[in-house]
Amino acid sequence: MTSASVPTIRATGPADLLALVPYLLGFQPEESICAILLSGSQLKLTARVDLPSVEVVEAAADGFGHRVAEQAERDQVDQIIVAVFSEDGELARRALLELVGAGLPVVLALHSDGSQYRVLEGEEMTPPQDYEPSATIAAASAVAAGLAPVHRRDDLLAMVDFDQDQHHDAMEGARCLDHFDESQDLRLLMRRTVQAAIRGPMLPRDIALLALLALDIEARDSAWLMMDRTNAQDHLTVWLTVARAMKESLAAGPAVLAGMAAWLSGNGALAWCCVDRAQDEFEGYGFAGLLAEILDQALHPDNWVELRPQLMEAAQAA
Q: What's the pLDDT band for 142 if we cut at 50, 70, 90? A: confident
Using H for helix, E for strand and C for coil, what is the string for 160-226? HCCCHHHHHHHHHHHHHHCCCCCCCCHHHHHHHHHHHHHHCCCCHHHHHHHHHHCCCHHHHHHHHHC
The mean pLDDT value of the chain amounts to 88
- Give residue 156's pLDDT: 86
pLDDT of residue 1: 55
Q: Kindly list the distances between the CA atom of residue 11 and the CA atoms of 36, 47, 165, 262, in Å, as whole numbers in the listed order.
A: 13, 18, 45, 28
Q: Please write the tens of the pLDDT for every residue from 290-315.
A: 999 888 777 778 788 888 888 887 77
Q: What's residue 70's pLDDT? A: 83
Q: Which domains are delineated in the chain?
A: 14-151 (3.40.140), 156-317 (no CATH)
State the CB neighbour count (10 A cutoff) for residue 233.
14
What are the φ/ψ torsions at residue 4 (nearest 5 degrees)? -155, 155
Q: Is the pLDDT of residue 149 over 70?
A: no
Per-residue confidence band for 3, with pLDDT thresholds at 50, 70 and 90: low
64-105 per-position pLDDT tens digit = 888 888 888 888 899 999 999 999 999 999 999 999 998 899
